[in-house]
Structure 1
Amino acid sequence: MKQKRCDSIVGGLQVSALEQNFLLAGVGGQGTLLAADVVALVGMKLGLDVKKSEVHGMAQRGGSVTSHVRWGKKVASPLIEPGEVDFMIAFERLEGLRYAHMTRPGGVLLINDYRIAPVTVASGSKIYPSEVDEELAYASVVRSVCGDNCIERMYVPAVAIAQEMGNSRVNNIIILGALSALLPDVPEELWLEVISERVPSRYVQLNRTAFTTGRAYMQGHS
């Protein structure tokens, strides 16, 4: 496994802005790809080599959508190998469980505390995991990766926060704000600059507020 330069420690986690692997996963319509674009552009503005790949799946039918984003001095491949993800960012709880095995020992699972029934559940052929089943499944995955309690799992009630703001669609930006709090070497204003460039002008202030709200939430809970 590659050696990572560690510049700071947040919540007991060693974090560097210079070399990071991000895996973003969600359901079609959640803004997963916009969030991935923001993460990639932030890396570019830091002067890093950035690679990004996307898998859309059945996005228009509520299927899984994933994006790999890699920051580094020199990045060879856009794809992240299992066990090499620093930040697994899930915009839906089941997506977090689906890709938890990709996280490296000492990595972070950042999860939107929100459930969307996949097509198989909506059709009645499958059952959405209960919280007990979910915990057991996570425990099994973590043990297979690196033993007990070696991956930090953090939940953010992003949809609930977004609904309080009056627009549930900004839950993806709230999650990005939470992520930014775990990357203290990256200036907050850089994230806000990229968000302002990527969203329609009439929604810039709403998204900036969503970002700072998510950042403040994580700073108060990590």
Structure 2
Amino acid sequence: MNILIAAVGGQGAVVASRILGKLAQNLELDVKVSEVHGMSQRGGSVVTYVRFGKKIHSPIIEKGTADVILAFELLEGARYVEWLKPGGTLITSSQRIDPMPVITGTANYPEDLEKKLLSLPIHCKVIDALAYAKEAGNLKTVNVILIGALAATTEIEEDKWLTAIKEVVQEKLADINLKAFSLGYKKSRCIESNGENDEI
């Protein structure tokens, strides 16, 4: 399984990658995680590669080989969609965070980006993860909302994911993160994709 996490600095991509890494370890799979922070301190792109299977030799995911792209922001999802393999899945938050060129006025945020992503010949789920994080009680749980949505696309038992989350997040934050996972998992599963693209 090759998972590319695309986010903006401060959105919790590193925690998400650690949850996936712990999940793979608990499943007794070989796992490699490569974190590329970029300009994360200034709200820039953060990309993390997570690969797990019987034997993984390299942590790097090449273009056209990702099974899943987990995007915490709409433009970041679009930026890395070329990394998906044919038949791959993009799970992206509908949240929009203006990058520095947009903030400074030297560029415009792409129009109709959500519509364009949903029209691509890929499996795509666009999720209002920020709204669900608010429902969970903490806006910083967008990452775990999306982990829940990812979990819903796999055959890995739900309790395996819950265990990994509890082992990674701080004990005092466990309950709210488990609630966030459950929201992402249930909201994603409630729509039958049938290979078509969905907006949740």
Q: Given the two structures, how large is their TM-score scaled by the length of structure 1?
A: 0.83
1:83-162 equivalence runs, <5 A: 83-131=64-112, 135-136=115-116, 149=121, 151-162=122-133
CA offset at residue 203 of structure 1?
A: 0.9
Alignment of 1:215 onto 2:179 = no
Aligned residue pairs, count:
192
After TM superposition, the runs of 4+ consecutive aligned structure 1 residues lying more than 4 A away are: 133-139
CA offset at residue 37 of structure 1?
A: 0.9
Alpha-carbon RMSD across the aligned residues, in angstroms, is 1.4
Structure whose CA Rg is larger: 1
Q: Aligned to 1:221, what secondary structure does the other structure show?
A: coil
2:70/2:77 contact within 8 Å kept? yes
Give me the whole-angstrom Cα distance separating, in 1, the residues matched to 2:133 and 2:21.
23
Structure 1 gaps of 5+ residues are 1-19, 143-148
The one-letter amino acid of 1:200's match is: Q
2:58 to 67, 74, 77: 77
CA offset at residue 136 of structure 1?
A: 4.8
1:6-45 equivalence runs, <5 A: 20-45=1-26
1:9 match = none
Structure 2 gaps of 5+ residues are 193-200
2:118/2:124 contact within 8 Å kept? no
Give me the whole-angstrom Cα distance separating, in 1, the residues matched to 2:118 and 2:103.
23
Give me the whole-angstrom Cα distance separating, in 2, the residues matched to 1:180 and 1:154.
13
The one-letter amino acid of 1:60's match is: Q
CA offset at residue 162 of structure 1?
A: 1.0
1:183 match = 154
2:94/2:114 contact within 8 Å kept? no
1:204 match = 174
CA offset at residue 165 of structure 1?
A: 2.6
Give me the whole-angstrom Cα distance separating, in 2, the residues matched to 1:22 and 1:199.
20
Q: Given the two structures, how large is their TM-score scaled by the length of structure 2?
A: 0.92
Q: Deviation per CA, 1:18-74, whole angstroms, max 9, x where unpaired?
A: xx1000010001001110111111111111111110110010100000100111111
Alignment of 1:47 onto 2:28 = yes
